Amino acid sequence: MKKIYTLFYKNLFLTNRLFTGLGCCVVLFMFAFFFPWLGIIPQLVFYTLLLLTFIDVYLLYRTHKGVFAKRHAPERLSNSDDNELGIYVENWYPFNVSIGIIDEIPFQFQKRDVWFKTLLNPRQRKMINYVLRPTKRGEYEFGYIRVFVKSPLGLVSRRYNFKQTENLPVYPSFLQMRKYELMAISNQLTEIGIKKIRRLGHSLEFEQVKNYVQGDDYRTINWKATARQGSLMTNAYTDEKSQQVYCVIEKSRVMKMPFDGLSLLDYAINASLVLSNVALLKEDKAGLITIAEKIGAVIPADRRPTQINKILEVLYKEKTRYLETNMELLYSTIRSVIKQRSLVVFFTNYESLSALQRQLPFLKRIAKFHLLLVVFFENTELKKLSEKPADDVEGIYIKTIAEKFAYDKKLIVKELAKHNIQSILSTPQNLTINTINRYLELKAKQKI
C-alpha cells in the first residue's frame, strides 16, 4: 500500500488532466452535507463513486510501469520538407486503456496542439506517425514524451514521463535533392517540370565507333571504319564531361527577405544543393562559393563521391549577414580559384535597377572569363498587389508602385542580356526547377 500511495502522490497530483471521479465525489459530498433533506441517495452515489475511484487508482498504480513510449525520428531533418516522425507506444496493462500522448516538439515549430489519442488492448503495440515541416536550418531540441493513461472506468488519469530529449540537426533540403537525383538517374526529369532541350549538333566529346543499327543517324557513319570492317560503322558521341559548375551564393541582407516561412537564402541553398547533385550525376564537377562583406566558404569544383556531402555540411552552417556584398573580393576570388572556363551560377536578389548598377562592372568582368548565370527572385507579394484591382486613390497609388517595381525587374533582365550575361527571374517556389532547366539548356547548347 505504501508503494501504491507513493506512486499515487507523485503521478496523480502532477497530471494536468481533470480527475472526473474525485470531482464527482466532492460535488456529491457537498450535496449530502448542505442538503440533508435529499435523503440517502446522494450518500450512496457518493460512496459508490468513491469506491470506484479508489478501484481505478489501484488498477492504474498497482504496477510500476504500465505503458512504454519511444520517439522514432530520423538522424536529421530536411529543411522546408515534410519529415515523418513516429511515437511507438505499448500497453503493459492486462486490460484495455485509453491513452493520450503529448510530444514536446522544438519551440521553433510554435505548435501547442501535438496531442494524440488512441486505444490499446492488453499487450498491444502501436506506432503513431506525424509530420513536421521545419523552415530554418540549425539544431532542434525535442523534449519529453508525456503519456496519460485511463482504465476502462475512466475516472482517473495517470501520467507517465519518458525522457526522450534529443537534438536533431535540420539540413538543407536533402529530400528534394534525392527526388531530383532519382529523376535524373531514370531520365524522368520532364515529369516534374524539367524541359527537354533540343541539342544543336553533336557534342565535342567522341566516345567510340560501333556497329550501325537501324535508327542511328546516317550522318554519323564512319566510312573509313566501314571500309576496313566490311560493315556499316558509326561514331558514337557523348555529353561533354568534367565541366565545372560553381554555385555562388550571396548571403547579405538582400537574401533575408522571407517567403512561405523560408528566407531567400534558404531557397538559394536548396537550389544550389540540388543543382550540384544533378551536375555530379551528369559527370560534371560541382563547386561552391559563399560571399557577403567577406568570403565565406570556398569548395573547389570536384566530382568525387564525397563532394556532395562536403557541400551539404557547408550549406548547413551558412547564415545571412547584414552588410553589403563585396563584389571586388568576389571577382578576385573567382579569378584565383576557378582556373578554367566554368558555369558560374550567382544566386542574389535585386529590387531596383540601381542595385544592379552597383554590381554590374564586376559581373561584366566575371562574364569575360566564365559563363555567368545570375539568378534573382520575383517579388510575389508585389505581383499580387499589381494584379489586384484598385478601388480608391490609395489603391491606385499602391498598384502603380508595385507595377513600377515589377517593371524594374524586367529591366534588370534586359540590362544583363545587353552585356551577354545569362539571367533567371524566378519565384522562390520554382527556383530549383528553373535553375536545373537553364543548366541543362546551356549544357545541351554547348555554351559551357
Task: Give the tens place of pLDDT for each residue, 346-361.
Answer: 999 998 899 999 999 9
In the numeric block, which cell numbers belong to residue 90?
Answer: 505499448
pLDDT in tens, 241-276: 678 999 999 999 999 988 888 999 999 999 999 999
Beta-sheet pairing, 138-142 with 166-171: antiparallel
Query: What confidence score (pLDDT) does residue 30 get?
Result: 56
Residue 196 pLDDT exceeds 80: no
Structural domains of the chain in order of their starting residue, each with its CATH number: 1-171 (2.60.40.10), 174-198+241-444 (3.40.50.410), 207-238 (no CATH)
Phi, psi for residue 106 in degrees, rounded to 5: -60, 150
In the predicted model, is pLDDT for residue 193 greater than 70? no
Comparing 7-21, 44-58, 302-316, the range with the smallest average pLDDT is: 7-21
Provide the percentage of residues in the chain whose pLDDT is more than 90: 52
Q: Cell 496542439 identifies what position? A: 113
Q: Is the pLDDT of residue 423 over 60?
A: yes
Grade residue 159 by pLDDT with cuts at 50, 70 and 90: very high
pLDDT at 99 over 80: yes
CB 158 within 8 A of CB 147: no
- For residues 298 and 390, the model is more confident at 298
Q: What is the pLDDT of residue 10?
A: 40
Distance CA 122, CA 97 (A): 8
Q: CA–CA separation, 350 vs 259, rounded Å?
A: 15
Please tell me the predicted confidence (pLDDT) of residue 146.
Answer: 94
Strands 285-291, 244-250: pairing kind:
parallel
Lowest-pLDDT choice from 90-104, 383-397, 401-415: 383-397
pLDDT of residue 336: 94
- Cβ–Cβ < 8 Å for 8, 58: no
3-state secondary structure of 103: strand
Q: Is the pLDDT of residue 14 over 50?
A: no
User: What's the pLDDT score for residue 225?
Assistant: 80
Encode pLDDT of 301-346 as tens digits: 999 989 999 999 999 999 998 888 999 999 999 999 999 999 999 9
